[in-house]
Structure formats: structure tokens, C-alpha cells
Structure 1
Amino acid sequence: MTRLDDLTGPSNALAPHYSRFRVAERLLLTGHSHQAWPDVAARGQLEAYDDAAAEVDDKWERALGKADVLRAGFRRLLGDPEAEIALGASTHELVVRLLSALDLRNRPRLVTTDGEFHSARRQLARLAEEGVDVVRVPTAPVTTLVERMSAAVDDRTAAVLVSSVLFETSWRVPHLSELAARCERVGVELLVDAYHHLGVLPFSIADLGLERAWVVGGGYKYLQLGEGNCFLRLPPQADRMRPVVTGWYAEFGDLSHGAGSPDRLPYAAGAARFAGSTYDPTSHYRAARVLDFFEERGLTPELLREVSLHQRGVLAAAFDDLGAPDPAITRDRETPPDGFGGFLTLHTPHAGRLRAALRRRGVLTDSRGRYLRLGPAPYLTDDQLKAAVGLLGEVLAEERIR
């Protein structure tokens, strides 16, 4: 079983299992966006091909079994063993299916924040162009975000959409249970984006008070599952809903809901009613292998949180040691460490310029507007994290940022 001490010394015990991504040779501070895949992922890819070659169209029995493994993995991560889980290639397609099930004619308001990921941000902006009342609540200060979102909810609101960890700043959104309670009182659907939460913070539907919330997320980031592995957790009231955007897989299973009426399209019960249609199952084969790898190595949410807090602390301390010019580049020092997700955000008007300069020096990271994001991962050593920040110091001097 893996321990924190196995990952912080001159060599990292996990790194040899990521040889195809060469994590020991590169400074990959992309852990908040695209983590490396363990080598076992390649075997999953080949297994998908071998099953297709051997079984041709009969491969689907095996492929659907891999989808069930993925659903079970997401249930564990959500702390919700009985959850109904719909799968999709992206969170966007799952969010669109949910939006299409809302009664926007009679409740034409959606409440969200100005800090949501692009798949939601862009889609909601387009809906606003078509007349939907989209209310964007500023994320700062995050300590009062839920209070301010709750105040924006009224009986014209169809849904509230919010992240549990904000993708630009890494702020954790506190008091989600209060927002959930407000939504339930007014008959509003609550969608929580947990993409920047799972794999770096323990998540519990019950502890967060989200039993009646929808939860969306995926495996492209901290879970190391790669593309094509996203989910939508359905709450109990989902069986009353009929998404307009619907694939033929939603006819699988029990068609008792609306069956027998030629004028009313039937839907299967449970998560299948939010299903899509024929898809590439290769991603699920890969995910099943990676989920097994995490289990075998003891990479539990609790350990991953311990690693994340340590690594983000290493990055923050190394940045502080640079004595970088404030406010040309700075970080949030008021929020306690546990108030963040898994990456360090540096606030600077030069974020894009610094990202490009770091890349030229072999440090891969990214930027979003005025935010330079440094994302550690469990397969990196402390020395690699410090080296990356040291190169940032050289870039600041070279670029004459002061």
C-alpha cells in the first residue's frame, strides 16, 4: 500500500508505473488538467481492440461490463453505493441532457457563477441569447458564495449550477448543503460539478447534504482515466424527468414510463433515461484498468488528499521563497490550505506569457485569464516541484516582471 513517505523522497514509488508518460523525466505540472495515465491504461486500450476483433458486434456484452466497472468506481468516489449513474463522453453532453429536461418555459431562470468551466459557461451564455434568464453570481468572496446564490433563487428558477471546487482559483465552495436545502424548498434542481473535487478531495453525497442534487464530473483530470469517462449522478426525482435530448439507449430496460402511448415517447427507468447512443467503449476499458491500479496501490481519496495538501504546500512554500514581486504575481495567502482543491493558482496579468516561457524551459502547466495554474500529481517528487518553481523564478527575471 502506498504511503505519503513513498512519494516525497528523491524517487517516487509511483513514477515507474507511468513510464510511457516519462513522468520522472519531465516537469508535468498539468495535474489539475491532464494527469498522466499509468502504464496499465495501454493494456486496457489493447483489450478493447482484441475484444472487438474477436467478438465483432458481440463485443458489446463485454464493453457494457466495463461501463458497469466505471459506474461502480464513480459510486465509490461519491460515497453513494446505490447511485444511479449515467455515463457520457463529456460533461457537456450530460449537462445538455439535464438542461433539456428542465421546464424552462415556466421557470426560465438558471442561477450559476462567473467561475464555471467552459462547457457550462458557453452553453449557458448561448441559452441567455435565446431568452433564458441566466444569473451569474460572482465567485468572490467564496465564503459567501452560497449565501448569495441562495438569494438569487426564486420560484422562476429551474436549476442552479455550481462547482464544488472552482476550476480557475482552486477555491472549495463551502456550505453546499445550505444551497441544496434552499433549492429543495423552492423546487429547484441543483447541479454540482465535482470535476475538480474527485481524486483530490474525499467526496460524500450524505456529508455534503447533496442527496437530491445532480452531480457531474469525469476522469480526465485527477482520476487519470483519460478522455471519454464522464458521469452524471441522478437524484431520486430524476425518474419524473424526460430529457428532450435523448438517445436510443434510453429505450433500454424497463419502458414502463410512458409505454403504450403512441404520442408520448417512453423512457427507461433509472440512469438509462439519461443515456445517449452508440459510443466508443475503448475509454471504459482504459478506465477499468486504471481504477484497478488505484485499488491495488491504495490510492484512496484520503491518501490522495494527504498527498495533494503536501504537494500544494511544497509549491506554495517554494513560490514564497522566490520573493516574487507583488502584485505582479502573487497567490491567495488568506484562505487556509484546506480551502483549496488540488492546484496552486498564481494571480498575475502575465499568466499567458509566463505559461509560454515556462513551456520553453520544459515546465508544462497552463493559464486561464489572469490565473497561472500549477498542478502537482502523486507521481511527482518534491524535488521536481521545487525545480519547476525555481524555473519560474528564472522566467520572472528573464521576462523582467516586477
Structure 2
Amino acid sequence: MAEHIGQRIASRRRARRMTQADLAREAHVSLSMVKACERGVRMPGASTLEAIAAALAVDASRLDPAYTGTSSRVHAALPAISAAIAGYEYALDPPRSTLDQIRSEVAAAVEWRLAAQYRLIATQAPRILGEVLAHLHRGEAARLVVAAARAADAVAYKYGAHDLSARLIDVMRWAALQAEDPVVSATVAYVQAETFLAAHAHRAGQIVLERALDATPAPLDELSTAAIGALHMRTAVVAARAGDPDAADSHLREARALADRLPEGVYLGTAFGPSSVRIHEVALAVSLGQDHIGRALDVARGWSPGNEIPAERRSGFWIEVARAQLWSGDPDDAFESLKTARRHAPQHVRQHPWAREDIATIRRLKRADAESLTAYAEWIGAV
């Protein structure tokens, strides 16, 4: 089977006139991995197969007919995640792992979330959640519970399980109360915005997030500065979707002022810094609607996020830029931006409703480039 998969990879690569080095670069895998896969020496793992398939503009099942896909694997894991938090308020079983062991596993789950590796999260989240909750009931691990639940929430939210997402956020809020830590509470409020975004209850979300900001003490160190800055960033976008541009701009200014104090980085699982604020300025402009797309395009002109930004957020930036480009009447550039988004985080793009909507629109407008557009649309599930 590995040999056949390798042959399919090589055949598709040659059809697209790509060298092995081109494929490695586009898929963000090593050249030695590409060579080994094509020779049949190595069987690509699920994440590698999806990355290669994305670079070749095909569904992973075209390369490996036995591959069931990330989506089906994630959906199959959701009931186990739900069961893992069913009795989160109660001490059910003692932990089986040491606190150091589970801390390492939660750190890996955070990395997977930032890299949009949802399949890995889905398969590991039930056990990790059970372990961190067991440790919390022994008086430890409140921050770890928040981090683990947030990783699981990324899967639930992206794959449309919004009821499960809301329950995971309830677990985070409960753990934050145990921690009695305003930085953790600000982080949870940041994630809670998803509930309002999913329900399109933007005005309610703006009020809740602004109240969370009012309840947060002034920042004293890097972690609190980043947590409050990120919350201002998220509130700016929610306010924009609520149709309140003045509040949106005010929150973005607050976020920018706090970001100027810090290097770009990941703080308690949230990327924050000057580049993150710049990305959110694009999101704010797109959220405000077509009258503001010039602002989004101005930010994106001559600038793009580098590797200091997690893959999921880089991908989101290009999805937002693509929408602005499409609204401005430039479907060619919009398609290029969507292809760039896929190179950074294919699993994230595949679950993003805007990416699916926009590629379908571009395909209607650009019949002359039907082959590559159709391949992308089939990959994302838009046709």
C-alpha cells in the first residue's frame, strides 16, 4: 500500500510540474520525507498525507483510498470528549499520570491547537481531559484544565459541535474560578467569545467581553499584559461584527498599546504581540463589511505574518485577506490567498465556512481556470 501511495504522490506531483523539493516546500515537510514516501520506503502519517495532498490540490483519499479523513476521525472522537467532561465538577477517579507527565501532554495539545492539528487533538483529548480534571480535584492544575479544555474546544468549535464547545467553555470557566487568577479568567473570556460568534449574538458578546475587561485588574507583568491585550483584540472583532466601529477601533488601540510592550509570542496558549494585532486589524475591517475592505487591503499590502505567528492564525489572516480581495473585485488574488492559507494550515482552511463560500464564488466567476479551482473546491467540499 505504501508503494501505491508513493506512486500516486509522484504521479500527481509530475502532473503539476513540481519537483520533489517544490512539494516538500509547499507541504511544509522534509525533502527526505517526500523522497521516502515516493519510493515506498515510508508510509506517510495522517497529518503528513494531508499536508502533501493539500500541496498537490487533491483530497488525501485520492492518494490513499483507505484514508477516512480528518473530519470523520474528529467526529468519531467527539462523543468521547463529551463523556470526559460529563462529571467535571466531581472527583471520579484518581489521576494515573504524574503532574509533570500531564503538563507535558497538555503542552503538546496546545502546540497542536496552534498548528491546527485537529485530528491529533481529537484522539488524545478525552484521556488528557480526564487526567487534568483528576489532578484539579486534588488541588492542582487549574491552568492545565483550561489549556486542555481549550484544545478540545478548538476541535469542537471548528467542526460545528457548538453545544459541546459551550460545555467545554463552562469547564474552563469553572476551572478559572478554582484558580482565582485574573489572567486565567481573561483567557477564558477570550475563548468564550466563540459562543457568541457561533450564535451571531455579537452585541451580547461585546457586552460580556467588555464586562470581563472591566473586571480585570491593570496588567502587571508579561502574562497579564498579553491576556488583557488579547481580550481587547477579540473584543474589537466582536464589536465590529456588532456594528460598533467606534468601540472596535477603541479596543484595537488598547490592544496595540499593550502589544507594543511585548515581543510577539504565545502567552498561556494565545498568540499576542504587534503582528497579532495587525492580523486582527484585517479581521476587524472585514467584519465591519465591504465599506471597510480598503483598510484590510492596506494592512495586507506588502506585509504578511511570519513564522513567529502560529499556523492557524497565519491561515486565518489569508482567509480574511481573500475575502477582502474578492469583495474588491479581484478573484485571482483571492484564490492565491486561499491557496496560501491552505499551505499554512490545511485542516483549518477545510473547516472554515468563509473559505468554502469564497472558493465557490471564485469558481463561478473564473471559469477559465476551472481545473485548479475545481480541484480546490472538491478538496474543501464546496462542490
TM-score, normalised relative to structure 2: 0.28
TM-score, normalised relative to structure 1: 0.27
- Which of structures 1 and 2 has the larger relative contact order (alpha carbons within 8 angstroms, sep 6+)? 1
